């Protein structure tokens, strides 16, 4: 029998620690990583596709040529030479900024944490797409931000839904600290904000005096050859832009960055210094050398083709087995498909059966701060090879169909009973 231990430090924690619970994804991880399970749950980039000899050469060169500096403390804003290379990465998405406009962070996740720390008092309202990236929700809630979701559809966040939210806030005499959005190949929904809606969102940001946080980890992993303008390009003073090398190089190297209006950038630099003194100089130098000496755009192209093929395998298998009872998003890029179950079916309740059938996914509720998402789930196609993805979808389809059949049988039995005099 497992012993349930009370936490002896419970009474000492700050109030903001009360809401801290393991995300659905973390709890799932232990089970989903068992070898017999096809995991469509995690969002791990396929780092095995990287040229590891090249990474080793770059790392050796850094230690050989710049060892004492690379192994030293650095400054809060990040290594200047790396910031210059990150400007090239953004230029690949037609975003033009200067090296001084950005602050290097420990992945995009730390930027979300620092921004929450900077903006959120307990109870402050933060707007986010519904569904939203689970790590952002965790960051907002750890500073007791109160998340209100704005609905999205196949074309991204719905401007009219934002109008409704803003009207309700105005009515209640409240304002929002910022609106968090992932306009390109969103995690978890897999969709992108259309061009017309980008214009509409910027127009509303002006109208409602909203600060936007544009989180863009997946922009270069685009399957449709359609690059849409970054929100930051459209309104630099209204947008904090977040980038990361996690999906186009390595998440283990922990390099992200924030491009922000000057006053926010100054605060982020100070916060960064109190958070960890400075970003690891060593990984910054390695990232700088990688971008300076390796054909990194070719590597991005390779990743893009790999993920596109896996995405196609998932969509094809879903169409074969579930098209009559489920609906799902058709990703524009990135890592994820968002699936809607038949009405009334609960993705969290279904999970034990799915794990028993040796397939894992993330229940939709993890991606909402308000308890919705019961009938939705996130399926990721980034990590397992295509054949495994197909097998995983077949297993999942059997579980969903069995559950649907069971529900239909129960419904029939109830109807029969009600007809019996
Ligand atoms: N934003 C989004 C939308 C993400 O999906 C992720 C990673 N899953 C991150 C931010 C954080 O990534 P990292 O900290 O590795 O840059």
Residue 20: predicted pLDDT: 74
Q: What is the pLDDT of residue 408?
A: 83
Beta bridge partners of 176: 125
H/E stretch holding 119: helix 107-119
Do residues 214 and 313 share a domain? no
pLDDT band at 31 (very low <50, low <70, confident <90, very high): confident
Structure tokens at 114: 């620092």
Average pLDDT over residues 211-234: 95
User: What distance in angstroms lies between residue 270's CA and the mean position of ligand 1's atoms?
Assistant: 22
* Nearest-angstrom CA–CA distance, 11 and 356: 39
Least Cα distance to 232 among 190, 263, 198 occurs for 198
Of the ranges 67-71, 148-152, 221-225, 392-396, which one carries the lowest mean pLDDT score? Answer: 221-225
Work out the end-to-end distance of the chain between its first and last CA atoms, rounded to an integer number of angstroms.
48
Out of 240, 264, 295, pick the residue that ends a domain.
295
State whether residue 47 is helix, strand or coil: helix
HSE-CB for 159 with a 13 A CA cutoff: 15
Query: Residue 227: which pLDDT band, with cuts at 50, 70 and 90?
Result: confident
Distance CA 68, CA 73 (A): 10
Same domain assignment for residues 92 and 212:
yes
Residue 240 shares a structural domain with residue 259: yes
Of the residues 264, 295, 326, which one is the last residue of a structural domain?
A: 295
* Sequence-ordered list of residues with C-beta below 8 angstroms from that of 352, at least 6 positions apart, any chain: none
Q: Is the pLDDT of residue 122 over 80?
A: yes
What is the pLDDT confidence band of residue 51, given thresholds at 50, 70 and 90? very high
Cα of 109 to ligand 1 centre, how many Å?
6
The Å distance, Cα 134 to ligand 1 centre, comes to 9
pTM for the full model? 0.95
Q: Is the pLDDT of residue 193 over 60?
A: yes
- Asked whether 107 lines ligand 1 (CB < 6 A), one says yes
Dist CA 139 CA 271 (whole Å)? 15
Is ligand 1 within 6 A of the CB of residue 219? no
User: Using one digit for the tens of pLDDT, what is the confidence trace for 247-284?
Assistant: 999 999 999 999 999 999 999 999 999 999 989 999 99
Residue 15 pLDDT greater than 90, yes or no: no
Mean pLDDT computed over 410-414: 78
Q: Which residue among 246, 279, 287, 334 has the greatest number of ligand 1 atoms within 8 angstroms of its CB, and so is best to mutate?
A: 246
Domain co-membership, 125 together with 242: yes
- Residue 382's pLDDT band, with cuts at 50, 70 and 90, is very high
**Per-residue confidence band for 26, with pLDDT thresholds at 50, 70 and 90:** low
If pLDDT is split at 50, 70 and 90, which confidence band does 7 have? confident
Confidence of residue 34 (pLDDT cuts 50, 70, 90): confident
Same domain, 302 and 290: no
- In this structure, is residue 287 part of a structural domain? yes
Q: Cis before residue 131, ω within 30 degrees of 0?
A: yes
Q: Are residues 249 and 334 in the same domain?
A: no
Report the alpha-carbon distance of residue 226 to residue 94 in Å, rounded. Answer: 12
pLDDT at 2 over 60: no
Indicate the helix (H) or strand (E) that contains 314: helix 296-322
Q: Tell me, what's the pLDDT at 3? A: 60
CA dist 185 and 308 (Å) reads 12
Integer angstrom CA distances of residue 255 from 30, 301, 336: 26, 20, 22
> Which residue owns the Cα nearest ligand 1 atom 12?
108
- Using CA atoms, how far residue 269 sits from 101, 292, 330, 332, in Å, is 11, 25, 38, 34
Residue 3 lies in a domain: no
pLDDT above 90: residue 419: no
Average pLDDT over residues 228-246: 97
In a domain, 403, yes or no: yes
Spatial separation of the C-alpha atoms in residues 202 and 238, rounded to whole Å: 8
DSSP class of residue 118 equals: H
pLDDT level of residue 27 (50, 70, 90 thresholds): low
How far apart are the CA of 404 and the centre of ligand 1, in A? 34
Confidence category of residue 223, pLDDT binned at 50, 70, 90: very high
| CA 139 – ligand 1 centroid, Å | 12
CA pair distance 269, 278, nearest whole angstrom:
9
Report the CATH number that the domain containing residue 404 is assigned in CATH: 3.90.1150.10
Compare 21 and 132 and report the one with higher pLDDT: 132
Nearest Cα residue to 157 out of 122, 189, 110, 109:
189
What is the rounded average pLDDT for all residues in the chain?
Answer: 94
**CA neighbor of 76 nearest in space, from 217, 273, 237:** 273
Under 8 Å between Cβ of 19 and 142: yes
* 217 pocket-lining for ligand 1 (C-beta < 6 Å): yes
Q: Whose CA is nearest to atom 5 of ligand 1?
A: 187
pLDDT on residue 24? 61
pLDDT at 22 over 60: yes
Q: Does the beta carbon of 368 lie inside 6 Å of ligand 1? A: no
Give yes or no: residues 326 and 396 share one domain: yes
What pLDDT score was predicted for residue 117? 97
Residue 97 binned pLDDT confidence (cut-offs 50, 70, 90): very high
- H-helix or E-strand spanning residue 328: strand 327-328
Are 31 and 166 part of one and the same domain? no
Q: Are 164 and 215 in contact (CB under 8 A)?
A: no
The pLDDT, as a whole number, for residue 23 is 63
Any domain includes 216: yes
CA of 293 to the centre of ligand 1 (A): 25
Alpha carbon 419 to its chain centroid, in Å, reads: 49
Which pLDDT score, from 0 to 100, does residue 77 have? 96
204-233: average pLDDT: 96
Please determine, for residue 386, whether its predicted confidence score (pLDDT) is greater than 90.
yes
Establish if 342 belongs to a structural domain. yes
- Judge if 327 and 306 occupy the same domain: yes
132 within a domain of the structure (yes/no): yes
Asked if 272 and 331 sit in the same domain, the reply is: no
> What whole-number percentage of the chain has pLDDT above 90?
86
Strand partners, 156: 153
How many domains does the chain contain in total?
A: 2
Pocket test for ligand 1, best of 217, 219, 279 (most atoms within 8 A of CB): 217
Provide the CA 152 distance to its chain's centre, in angstroms.
15
Q: For residues 263 and 247, what is the distance between their CA atoms, to the nearest angstrom? A: 29
Instruction: Answer yes or no: do 198 and 178 share one domain.
Output: yes
Strand extents, DSSP E, 144-300: 146-153, 156-157, 176-181, 212-215, 239-244, 256-259
Q: DSSP class of residue 14?
A: -
Range of the domain at 387: 10-49+298-419
Which pLDDT tens digit goes with each residue over 331-357?
999 999 999 999 999 999 999 999 999
**354 in a structural domain:** yes
| CA–centroid distance for 225 within its chain | 21
Structure tokens given for 217: 């980890």
Closest Cα partner for 190 from 81, 43, 34? 43
For the chain, give percent helix, strand, coil, nearest 5: 50, 15, 35
Given 276, 295, 314, which residue is the final one in a domain? Answer: 295
Q: Is the CB of 215 under 6 A from ligand 1?
A: yes
| In contact, 88 and 245? CB cutoff 8 Å | no
How far apart are the CA of 175 and the centre of ligand 1, in A? 27
């Amino acid at each position: 029998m497992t012993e349930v231990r009370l936490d002896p430090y419970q009474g000492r924690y700050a109030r903001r620690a009360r809401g801290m619970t393991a995300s659905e994804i973390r709890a799932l991880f232990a089970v989903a990583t068992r070898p017999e399970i096809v995991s469509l749950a995690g969002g791990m980039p396929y780092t095995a596709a990287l040229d590891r000899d090249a990474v080793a050469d770059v790392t050796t060169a850094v230690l050989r040529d710049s060892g004492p500096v690379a192994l030293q403390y650095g400054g809060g804003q990040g290594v200047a030479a790396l910031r210059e290379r990150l400007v090239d990465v953004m230029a690949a998405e037609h975003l033009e900024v200067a090296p001084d406009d950005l602050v290097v962070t420990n992945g995009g996740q730390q930027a979300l944490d620092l921004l929450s720390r900077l903006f959120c008092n307990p109870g402050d309202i933060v707007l986010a797409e519904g569904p939203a990236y689970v790590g952002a929700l965790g960051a907002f809630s750890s500073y007791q931000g109160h998340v209100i979701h704005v609905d999205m559809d196949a074309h991204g966040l719905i401007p009219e839904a934002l109008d409704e939210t803003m009207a309700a806030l105005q009515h209640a005499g409240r304002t929002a600290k910022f609106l968090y959005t992932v306009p390109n190949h969103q995690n978890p929904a897999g969709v992108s904000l259309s061009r017309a809606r980008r214009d509409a969102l910027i127009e509303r940001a002006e109208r409602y005096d909203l600060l936007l946080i544009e989180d863009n980890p997946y922009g270069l992993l685009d399957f449709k050859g359609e690059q849409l303008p970054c929100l930051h390009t459209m309104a630099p003073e209204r947008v904090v832009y977040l980038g990361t090398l996690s999906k186009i190089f390595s998440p283990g190297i922990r390099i992200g960055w924030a491009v922000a209006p000057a006053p926010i950038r100054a605060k982020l630099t100070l916060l960064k210094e109190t958070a960890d003194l400075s970003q690891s100089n060593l990984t910054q130098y390695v990232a700088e050398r990688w971008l300076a000496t390796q054909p990194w755009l070719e590597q991005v192209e390779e990743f893009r083709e790999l993920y596109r093929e896996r995405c196609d395998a998932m969509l094809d298998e879903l169409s074969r087995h579930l098209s009559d009872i489920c609906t799902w998003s058709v990703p524009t890029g990135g890592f994820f498909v968002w699936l809607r179950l038949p009405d009334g079916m609960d993705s969290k309740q279904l999970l034990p059966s799915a794990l028993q059938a040796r397939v894992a996914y993330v229940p939709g509720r993890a991606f909402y701060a308000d308890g919705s998402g019961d009938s939705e789930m996130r399926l990721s196609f980034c990590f397992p090879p295509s054949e495994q993805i197909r097998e995983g979808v077949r297993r999942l389809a059997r579980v969903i169909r069995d559950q649907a059949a069971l529900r239909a049988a129960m419904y029939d039995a109830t109807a029969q009973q009600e007809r019996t005099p």
